Structure formats: C-alpha cells, structure tokens
Amino acid sequence: MSAVFEFDDDDELGGQNIRSQEEQESGYSSEIDAAEPTPIVADEKLYEVPIGEGFISSSVKESSPLNRKTTKDDFEVLKLLGRGAYGKVMLCRHIETQKLYAMKVLKKASLFVHAKNAEHTKAERQILEEVRHPFIVQLMYAFQTDDRLYLILEYATGGELFTHMATERMFMENVARFYLAELVLALEHLHSLGIVYRDLKPENVLLDGDGHVMLTDFGLSKVSLDNRTNTICGTAEYMAPGNPISNVQKYGEIDILGIEILMEMHYDKSVDWWTFGILMFEMLTGSTPFRTSNKKKTLDAIKNKKLQIPYYISADAKDLLNKLLKKNPNVRLGSGEDGIQRIKSHRFFRKVDWTQIKERTVQPPITPVVTDPTLAENFDEKFTSQVIRESPIDTPFDERMKSYFQNFSYVAHPLTHIDTNGL
C-alpha cells in the first residue's frame, strides 16, 4: 500500500525472492500521501455531486436507480480485502443492482492527524474521477458520513498481480511482456493527463476476471501543471535515485523507489519508468535489483550500485532494463516528449500489437480461478477470513471535517462504466 513509512535502522528486508506475504499489503490501498489537485477541463469532468444535493446529475435519467444520493446503507459488506493506516477496503454488494464493488473507507480523524493527508485524499478522489481507461480501476461512487469517507471502486476478482507472481516465483518473458504492455498503456494514459503515478508495484496491479490488469491506488499520484514535482513518497524498494534524503525514517520498502525521489529532487513522469523497470526486473527474476539486508543499505545501493542482471535474461530484456533503470532521469528510456513511443518500439515489445492490447483482444496468460466472486478467493486469506466490524471513532466530530470534503460525493455516469469483471 502506498504511504510514507517509518522504520528502525536495523529493520530487515530479507533476501528471499518475491517479497513475503508479511511484507505485502493489499493493492486496494487505504493509505495515501502527497498529491495536489488540478482543475479538470469542463468537458472532461464527470458528474461531480455537491454534498448538499439530493440528486446526482441532470444527465442521469430520472428512472435510474442512481438518481438519488448514495449512502453506505445502499451496500452490503461481504469481505475484508485489505487494511491500512487510515482505513480499510472491503468487498461489498450494491443492494439494488446486486453488483460487486470494492469499498475503500477512510477515517477523517486519521487523515487530519497529518494535515496534508486530507488534501491528498481529495486529490486521489479527483484523479479517480478524471481517469477512464480499460487498464485502470474505475471510481463508481464517492460519499461521506460525519466521520468517514467512502470510495466505491471496481472490484478486481482476479486479485493482486503480487499473488500470482509469488505463486509462479518468476514469470516467463512472454508472460511478463503481456502485463508490462498493458501497464505501458495505463501509464501512457496517466501521463497524457499530466498525472505522475509514483507507486507502481505488484501490490497495486490487480487482475480482472479475465486476467487483464487494473492499476489501482492513486494515493501517491501527483498532478503537476509543469510536469515536475518533488514530494517525497512511494514504496522504498521501487524508489528512483538523484542530494541525499534528509531522513531515511520516511520510507518503508526502500528498494522500489526512484533515485530522484530518494535525492529529494524535482522529478517528472520518468520516475514511473524507473518503477516500471523495477517491476519488470521483479517479474523476470523474483526479486528487486537493489534489495539488501536493511533499508539504509538499500538506499545506498539504489544510488551507487551498478545494475546486475542475471545471465538467463534475454538480450532484449537486458537492454530494456538497462535503459529503464538509468540513474540519471534525463537519459532514462521514457523521458522526453517521445519517450513513450521509444518504449513501445523497443525490441522487447517487437511482437506486441498495441492496438490489440488496447482493445483487450489478446488472451491473458493467466486466467484467475473465480468459482464465486463473493468469496474473494484471489485475495489474501489473512484479510478475507477476518470478521468485519466497524471500528469506533475515538475523536469527537469536527464540523471542519465535513466542510473540508464539501464536494466529495460522486457517481459515475452509467455510460462511462467499463465492465472488466469478466464474469
């Protein structure tokens, strides 16, 4: 899950392939970090609902079941899918339509402990409204109570890519190539909107019922009008490299973050191509390239260690990894105006038909086993086996919490929904 983490200097990362289940957190994240909102062009804005109104939008037909204010009472909670510092994510069923969704619940009081987190949540909500893509999870509803925020998202019945990677230990190149190609298109779309994702990792890549990717968790995403930002964030194993960070205690999994994030430099969309390279390396080898016995050593490895690629990786894959994992973001593959085209035309992807990938006509190499979507059988049993209880709020109600999220409510127009459940 995305967040700014704290850890002790001797916090062990372990050397085993594929991060352990204890390290993994649900891809349906309920943790957030810095992201600034940006105005959305009027033609692209999708039916935002002021809290005080009892209707959804004049463009939603009166006969629609959505033509009223949505509340938590419209949903039946079935399973816990994940848990984070600020809330939890649950599988739920819309009572009237019987459709399944993932319900992300955030405690307002927890968000306001660190002032920026509330603003980051608003930004995540706005980004989710703006983005519509077949490989990105879709926001269906948003609403609030006095003490909680609710985001109702598409339910990815195939679970996390992390789980499938852990089962296989490592992917064959043709398998990795398929998922990487779909992620290229997802990142291309985000970058076209000026959004830097910043937290690409296996836990944040979900699979739908057919096995296609669904990128989720925009808690760390940033919209930058000048395409550059310098907020510290991310999962540390995937951090990109660039002046040393002043406080290593800010990070969790160090070997995922980019050098320019670690060095507290301004960075842009090229940081996503660093994390893309780290993910590709982990798919093909079962481990991240700069992982060491503790986080401080990993930080040093990211900044100073030469990339070492196993002998069994093909020449094309080695070349792509070397170009993606350049410590200098200015020469990293993917940077510059034509960066995405240079990635798509790389020899590693020479057999990829990008049109077919976008149209989802290529058969995924992994078909998730889904006997009953209400069982959430592709999610971690340590979450799904728990009894769901609504935790009490130990902070008095503050009227500012309600007013701060004045325009949080939302419902997706029926015509914008992309059905990716595959069931």
Q: The domain spanning residue 78 has which CATH number?
A: 3.30.200.20
104 is in an annotated binding site: yes
What's the pLDDT score for residue 122?
81
CA distance 231 to 2: 14
Cβ-contact 268, 227 below 8 angstroms: yes
Shared domain for 265 and 126, answered yes or no, is no
Domain-embedded: residue 8: no
What's the pLDDT score for residue 49?
31
Cβ-contact 286, 279 below 8 angstroms: no
Cβ-contact 307, 325 below 8 angstroms: yes
Q: Is 199 annotated in the active site?
A: yes
Shared domain for 260 and 399, answered yes or no, is no
Shared domain for 317 and 249, answered yes or no, is yes
What's the pLDDT score for residue 142?
92
Give, in degrees to the nearest 5, the angle at Cα 192 between 188 and 197.
Answer: 65
Cβ-contact 92, 374 below 8 angstroms: no
b vs e for 160-196, b when ≥16 Cβ sit within 10 Å of the residue's Cβ? Answer: bbbbbbbeeebbebebbbbbbbbbbbbbbbbbeebbb
Map 69-120 to HEC letters.
CCCHHHEEEEEEEEECCCEEEEEEEECCCCCEEEEEEEEHHHHHHCHHHHHH
- How far out from the chain centre does Cα 45 lie? 21
What's the pLDDT score for residue 238?
58
To the nearest 10°, report the CA torsion of 124, 380, 161, 175.
-170
Question: What's 305's domain CATH number?
Answer: 1.10.510.10
What's the pLDDT score for residue 212?
98
Annotated catalytic residue: which of 33, 74, 199, 210?
199
Give the torsion sign (CA, 93, 139, 178, 281). Answer: negative
Question: pTM above 0.85?
Answer: no
CA distance 65 to 112: 34
Shared domain for 118 and 171, answered yes or no, is no
Shared domain for 220 and 338, answered yes or no, is yes
Shared domain for 336 and 318, answered yes or no, is yes
Shared domain for 142 and 165, answered yes or no, is no
Shared domain for 95 and 69, answered yes or no, is yes
Query: What domain range includes position 327?
Result: 161-358
Domain-embedded: residue 23: no
C-alpha distances (whole Å) from 218 to each of 24, 120, 128 are: 17, 9, 7
Domain-embedded: residue 21: no
Shared domain for 178 and 304, answered yes or no, is yes
What's the pLDDT score for residue 204?
92
What's the pLDDT score for residue 145?
87
CA distance 107 to 105: 7
The pLDDT profile of the chain, 423 residues, written as one tens digit per residue, is 333 222 233 343 344 455 554 455 555 655 444 333 333 333 333 333 333 333 233 333 333 444 468 899 999 999 999 987 778 999 999 999 999 999 999 888 777 777 677 777 888 888 998 899 999 999 999 998 888 989 999 999 999 999 999 889 999 999 999 999 999 999 999 999 999 998 899 999 999 999 999 999 887 788 865 544 444 344 555 556 653 444 444 444 555 566 555 555 556 788 999 999 999 999 999 999 988 877 888 888 888 889 999 999 999 999 999 999 999 998 999 998 889 999 999 999 999 999 999 999 999 999 999 999 999 999 999 999 998 877 666 555 566 666 667 677 878 766 455 544 433
Query: Amino acid letter at 221?
Result: S
Other Cβ atoms less than 10 A from the Cβ of 71: the count is 13
